[in-house]
Amino acid sequence: MRLVTSVVIAVIVLVNLVFTQPSFAGENEGRRYDRNPDYIAINQELNRLSRAKDAQAQSETYSPEEIQKKVAELEFQKYTLETGTTWGQCRNETGKTLAVYGPKPKKSPTSYENVLYFLADGQTTQEQWDCSGVYLPNDVKIAGLSSDEQGQDLTGPVAVKIVDGTQIVVKSNPETGTVEFSVPPAKVF
């Protein structure tokens, strides 16, 4: 009789574990990126580009090859947000000091308060500190970077934003004298 009672109790406990929801898990704990503004903007842009591609309504500013390149860059950024860490990391290999920006070390009242920090040549930002992007002065030539609207080369100072989870390396090309990025930036200001 004790054996039957023990087996029934064990079966009830196992069935309970199978059919009940976990009580300690957060609702969207595994999908922290769903509420990330960068993730939302990337998905909206991907949807817009796929509609333009499907409708064959090519805009005057983008050729089919440019649309495909932009979709590939956005897919990479989306993948980075989904699988990467919650903070970006910047490495300087330009041969000069580089300005990077990110949040203040202490908690600030808003998430929009960023501060410039200077990163010496050969250094990487600390782990767990979210490098949000890179600031380049107006005397620096930048390889392969253009504004989204015109597709023209940028002049003047430039701030380059990266998405969370990105590990970007900023290098200087000694042959051309330009600054190059290891991954395409999320946004150019």
Whether 153 and 160 have beta carbons less than 8 Å apart is answered as: no
Asked if residue 183 lies in contact with residue 84, where contact means CB atoms within 8 angstroms, the answer is: no
Q: Read off the pLDDT of residues 118-140 as tens digits, 9 standing for 90 and up.
A: 999 999 999 888 899 999 988 88
Instruction: Name the percent of the chain lying above pLDDT 90.
Output: 32
Burial of 150 (0-12, 13-18, 19+ CB in 10 A): exposed
The pLDDT value given to residue 149: 47
Q: Token pair for residue 52?
A: 């333009």
**pTM tops 0.85, yes or no:** no
pLDDT in the model for residue 56: 59
Which positions ≥6 away from 8 have C-beta within 8 Å? none
CB-based burial, 126-137: b 16+ in 10 Å, e otherwise: eeebbbbbbbbe
How large is the average pLDDT for residues 36-41? Answer: 87
Q: What angle do CA 30, 49, 167 make, to 5 degrees?
A: 45
